[in-house]
Amino acid sequence: MIFLWACAAPLQILGPEPDYVPPPDLPIVPAGVVTDGVYTDSKGFSVHVREGWVATPGADYEQRRLTMDHVPTGGRLEFFVYPEGGIWPRERTGCHWTFEDRGPYGVPPVGGDVTVATCTPRAAAAGGAERVLGWYVLHEGLAWHLEASMPVGYLAPSRLAAEDVLRTLRLP
């Protein structure tokens, strides 16, 4: 024991630790902007922000590019962009995709086949759970996921409002 103590480096007494200075916050660059009622994204797509809708861009580094909330119905429309890959519905907690089809749907107007899907929450039997409609498109090397959440009691008006916005979608 004495040998270990004698060989140990001398104890250094340090002064007080300097105050921690966190790195400066980097500004979050939005994925796009709304100008004259049209949202334009840095990925090149655009969509009209209709009356009654509030558009909130995601951060430019996120896959969720835009969230739009429909104030009159409580509905929500989300725009996701992924590197080319699957155009199947993404997993949603507490939700079961009960319908899926692919064909020449008119909404959104992309000039090709669209995969559509419907998500029914597992808690739907208890009431009060929202439904989700999804539209999925492969275009110019990207997978576009467009999903509308619709509260119970506002399913039809939420869907109509979402489809009205999606008809204005222009992909790059």
Q: What is the 3-state secondary structure (H, E, C) of the chain?
A: CHHHHHHCCCCCCCCCCCCCCCCCCCCCCECEEEECCEEEECCCCEEECCCCEEEEECECCCCEEEEEEECCCCEEEEEEEEECCCCCCCCCCCEEEEEEEEECCCCCCCCCCEEEEEEEECCHHHCCCCEEEEEEEEECCEEEEEEEEECCCCHHHHHHHHHHHHCCCECC
Pick out the chain residues at pLDDT < 50.
1-16
Structurally, what CATH architecture does the domain formed by 29-166 represent?
A: 3-Layer(aba) Sandwich (3.40)
What pLDDT, on a 0 to 100 scale, did the predictor assign at position 44?
Answer: 92
What pLDDT, on a 0 to 100 scale, did the predictor assign at position 11?
Answer: 37
What pLDDT, on a 0 to 100 scale, did the predictor assign at position 58?
Answer: 95
Is the whole model's pTM more than 0.95, yes or no? no
What pLDDT, on a 0 to 100 scale, did the predictor assign at position 83?
Answer: 86
Q: Where are the domains of the chain?
A: 29-166
What pLDDT, on a 0 to 100 scale, did the predictor assign at position 9?
Answer: 46
